[in-house]
Amino acid sequence: MKYDIIIIGSGPGGYVTAIRASQLGFKTAIVEKESLGGICLNWGCIPTKALLKSAQVYDYLKHVDEYGLKAEAIDKDFDAVIQRSRNVADGMSKGVQFLMKKNKIDIIDGFGKIKTGKKVDVTSEDGKVTEYSADNIIIATGARSRELPNLPQDGKKVIGYRQAMTLPSQPKSMIVVGSGAIGVEFAHFYNTMGTEVTIVEYMPNIVPVEDKDISKQFERSFKKSGIKIMTNSSVESVDTSGDGVKATVKTKKGEEILEADILLSAVGIKTNIENIGLEDVGIITDRDKILVNDYYQTNIPGYYAIGDVTPGPALAHVASAEGITCVEKLAGLHTEPIDYGNIPGCTYATPEIASVGLTEEKAKEAGYELKIGKFPFSASGKAKAAGTPDGFVKVIFDAKYGEWLGCHMIGAGVTDMIAEAVLGRKLETTGHEVLKAIHPHPTMSEAVMEAVADAYDEVIHL
């Protein structure tokens, strides 16, 4: 069967691309070997947020007296929490299936492998191979949990994020290796549910991609909640021969043995580019990524790649934006390349983290003269009333022209608030314009205005 566009992979890159392609009049098919929605919807972004919501509600219940309320016999049902997460993911996957049908997109079940001549072989579960062809083929096969040679995952005692979402029982203790978004979100979830958690991070700070002020605040919050944190440390080996896991950890002070029921390896991702025909077609890769131009064309005409398999940030919203940009360019629309300097990043632990643009350190390295403002949520009426006074908003401006260089937030609800900074930077808003935009009271978002006011020595409530 011949299509205008065939997309391999139905994650937030693939399925969004398919819908936009169909809207633009392309006859479109999508190839998926497992579940519609990919890892993000089924085993990542969505089900983890369901787990974290359960943890948040449980934490509220444990501190209900702080809100002038009383409750007795507060308990949890770990199996029910896991099942709720799976039900949320299943419902969202069915939603994607509805969108495919609504937009007249053909779903091809099986493992897709590209061939020369703009063809795709799809192998179904029973081993049958069917050939399809298209004018354009878009690779959106995503990524999976990366395994280190000294941390082989057995799926039982040494696990990746996928197993962490469906453990048959709650472990009493857990070692989390890596403190990126995946690592700290699971660390927060299991700690809140009552598991003893230790984070091992190779870098000097946890959440190392964030502004250092954010990292320090986050570490304080995690330690306050009872999570043990080991920075400048690395797991050298693991022993799973006993009942649990023994991890040999190298620190500045020497080696230390950690024991736990489970070790979660959250050391990054590995792209799914093996055995999909890249070598046969001649598509160039570099360091586990498919090389593309500004509109996601590979070195071979008619073959494109988006999402985690390309060199950009491995984020769901980036994959979606790349796919839309790719097919709009194919349709002949006026399309601008994505500004990768204005991509928001979010971490959904408690407290939440959200950021966009340059950190203070990066801005100084770039040679800017800076105006920096901070506003703590402890001075926010809404945050105090809500019982969530931890955290702050930090803004960074170019002192010469007022350009909004970066925005970094830590606290309740900041993953929703960061969009203001993304839009402001997109529209090339200056600090004075943000300051004079009236923010509603009482809201958490007032902290953005107040942080900008602090940068310009006009702060009112601090």
* Side-by-side strand order, sheet with 262-265: 158-159, 262-265, 173-177, 196-200, 228-230
| DSSP string across 4-55 | EEEEE--STTHHHHHHHHHHTT--EEEEESS-TTHHHHHHSHHHHHHHHHHH
Cα dihedral across residues 351, 356, 360, 365: positive or negative: positive
Amino acid type, 78: F
Cα dihedral across residues 180, 182, 183, 186: positive or negative: positive
Cα dihedral across residues 347, 351, 354, 358: positive or negative: negative
**Interatomic CA distance for residues 322 and 78, integer angstroms:** 38
Active-site entry in 188, 432, 441, 461: 441
Q: What are 97's two structure tokens?
A: 């299936």
Question: How many angstroms separate the Cα of 90 from the Cα of each of 37, 50, 54, 93, 180?
Answer: 10, 12, 17, 5, 26
**Interatomic CA distance for residues 389 and 376, integer angstroms:** 8
**Interatomic CA distance for residues 12 and 18, integer angstroms:** 10
Active site residue 441: yes
**Interatomic CA distance for residues 377 and 369, integer angstroms:** 26
> Among all residues, which ones are annotated catalytic?
441
